[in-house]
A = this chain, B = another copy of it.
Amino acid sequence: MAEPLFRRLALIGIGHIGSSIARAVKLTPGAVAHLVICDASPTHLAQARELELGNSYTADPAEAVQGVDGVILCTPVGSFAAIAKGIGPHLAPGCILSDVGSTKQSVIRDVGPHVPEGVHFVPAHPMAGLEFSGPESGMADLFKGRWCLLTPPEGADEAATATIEGFWQALGARTVRMTAAHHDRVVAIVSHLPHLIAFTICGTADDLADETREEVLQFAAGGFRDFTRIAASDPVMWRDIFINNKDALLEMFARFSEDAQSMARAVRWGDTSYIEDKINRGRKIRKSLIDIKQA
């Protein structure tokens, strides 16, 4: 039998993404020989054990990474610095350290300094995940056909990068490499800004006078209902994403905000051609998405 991609892999954090990786790994022969599951929450750890998501379980990250040749951080990005500091001294030379965080410059900033000589640090971001949380919400096919963006820092080990690519491809994802800075701009507009907007409009509705708010719920039409689905995502995870992709997110928000104010002005003054032009651009983007089969 061929060597597995990882002889012993530790998942730090067994929430929606971590537990999806664990489920996918179980169905992917040759990916991981022994899967260590680590979570600070006793409830999550008990659920993971109950679901038989791994081969061994621990609440202690330093213990989890003993003797592993791979580690994937699957906790909210705000926790990465402390975890990396805690596990750094316990990582063996040749080990690959990766993650699934939605922000990549912050991960390199927070994790990089704690990576010992000889350990290979390959940040990755699987662009998948629904609005659910916890070990029970994982899905084995979550990554099938989805993109996983890799942002290996300058001078990263090529073999280690190829191993992480191979791992995600084995789980069904398509992979692409880019710089962390570029990654952060792209996800700011395709994911982080839409979430910020969705959270906000739900709050705006929640602030309405009682009578109107009840009817908002009663009559939630297509538009608002779609926003609430996005807004159902995990608060700590998204708080950490916003804070850790602040620069790119605020730049995209500023652009959006100017555009929204201009649209409001056109509505106020009845500038029909401006409004139609903007709507037509939305349709064009949708059509392009359908054309490249992303919709």
Q: Interface of A with B (CB < 8 Å)? A: 127, 129-131, 147, 149, 182, 185-187, 189-208, 212, 215-233, 235-236, 238-239, 242-243, 246, 249-250, 252-253, 255-257, 259-261, 263-264, 267-268, 270, 272, 275-276, 278-289, 292, 294-295
A sample of 28 cross-chain residue pairs with beta-carbon separation below 8 angstroms, ordered by A number, consists of: A127-B219, A147-B219, A189-B216, A190-B219, A190-B221, A191-B224, A194-B223, A194-B226, A197-B197, A197-B201, A199-B282, A200-B259, A202-B285, A203-B281, A204-B259, A206-B285, A222-B230, A223-B230, A226-B227, A231-B279, A231-B282, A231-B285, A231-B286, A232-B283, A233-B279, A239-B272, A239-B276, A239-B279
Distance (Å) between the CB of A267 and the closest chain B CB? 5
A149-B219, A279-B235 as given contacts; A243 in contact with B272, CB under 8 Å: yes
B186, B224, B275, B282: which contacts A219 (Cβ < 8 A)?
A: B186
B282 near A202 with CB under 8 A, answer yes
Q: Are A216 and B186 in contact (CB under 8 A)?
A: yes
B189 contacts A225, C-beta separation under 8 Å: no
Residues on B with C-beta less than 8 A from A294 are: 217-218, 220, 225
Contact B215–A286 (Cβ < 8 Å): no
- What is the chain B residue whose CB lies nearest that of A266? B242
Q: For the complex, what is the distance from the CA of A225 to the CA of B293, rounded to whole Å?
A: 11
In whole angstroms, what is the CA distance A149 to B268 when docked? 26
Q: In the complex, which residue of chain B has the Cβ closest to the Cβ of A202?
A: B282
In the complex, which residues of chain B have a beta carbon less than 8 angstroms from the beta carbon of A270? 243, 246
Determine which of B212, B260, B261, B276 lies in contact with A197 in the assembled complex, contact meaning CB atoms within 8 Å: B260
